[in-house]
Amino acid sequence: MVPAGTKGQEDKAQAARAAGDDSRHRHGGHLGQPADHGGRGEHDPERQPRRGHRLRQLAVRLAPERAQLVGTRQLGEEARDQSGPLTVRAFFGLPLPERHREALGPFLAECQRVGPDFRWTPAENLHLTIRFLGHVELLLAEGIADRVAAAQPARFEVQLGETGAFKRGKMARVLWLGLRTGATEISALAATVEAECARAGLEAEKRGFHAHLTLARARPREGAVSPSLPEPPELEPWRADELILYRSRLGRGGSVYEPMRRLRLG
């Protein structure tokens, strides 16, 4: 015989166990695992707005940084377009008067006919090279030009002379016109430019300066046999009153020379 109080306690315990089993069945839970209370996981309707809010906050924080990066890239491209490349292929030279270039046109055409193994300089590119700089920083080239201008080189008379060639053995590398007058003055100008190049840290020229007007360069690397050139036209002297810092660009038809700085000779 079971006491009345004891049976009542057992009935309450069975009811509690039954309620627990029913609760685990409804919530999909197992012993020792948390039940899914109302679906408060990643799909919880109360948590989802908070997550979206955090994402929007993150997007707001990142937006200015992204805009800054895009703006910097665009600004850099515009700066390069405005100032040109950081380095340029440059040289200092004395331009020929237009009338002299025109007079040399037919002469160059005949030279090209008799000298096909050479690349002939177009008449519009003819100049007297003072100093070839090579590939240098743009600011460095402009700094040299500033110091040459400050030295105030003098103007002088120039007249072209006879044809000649720079050779290696019997093979000609460069064909040129020499100077009849102005060789001494142009050498002094070249010395001024060379001194400023040295101050800027450029390597000194290995060969001594030789004033000339380049007509053509040999196509083969080892040079070519110098052709028998026609007599150049007799050109009157002109006053060299301008030194130009040229930029050399390689175009479809060959090199293109663009004046970057014009320095007046006093």
Tokens matching residue 152: 């105030």
**Listed residue (174, 170, 161) closest to 119, CA to CA:** 174
Tens-digit pLDDT profile for residues 179-238: 999 999 999 999 999 999 999 999 999 889 999 999 999 999 999 999 999 999 999 999
With tokens 């090579």, the residue in question is 134
Domain spans in the chain, listed from the N-terminal domain onward = 84-264
Among 102, 156, 96, 150, residue whose Cα is nearest residue 127: 96
Beta strands in the chain (DSSP E): 87-95, 118-120, 127-137, 156-168, 171-181, 213-218, 238-240, 242-251, 254-264
Closest alpha carbon to 144 in 191, 95, 193? 193
Look over the chain and give the mean of its residue pLDDT values, rounded to a whole number.
79
Residue 7 has pLDDT above 90, yes or no: no
- For the cut 70, the answer to whether the pLDDT of residue 26 exceeds it is no
Determine the average pLDDT of the residues in 34-52: 41
Superfamily name and number for 84-264 = Cyclic phosphodiesterase (3.90.1140.10)
Q: Could you report the per-residue pLDDT of 223-260, keeping only the tens digit for each?
A: 999 999 999 999 999 999 999 999 999 888 788 999 99
Helix or strand run (H / E) with residue 149: helix 138-151
Question: Are the C-beta atoms of 249 and 255 separated by less than 8 Å?
Answer: yes
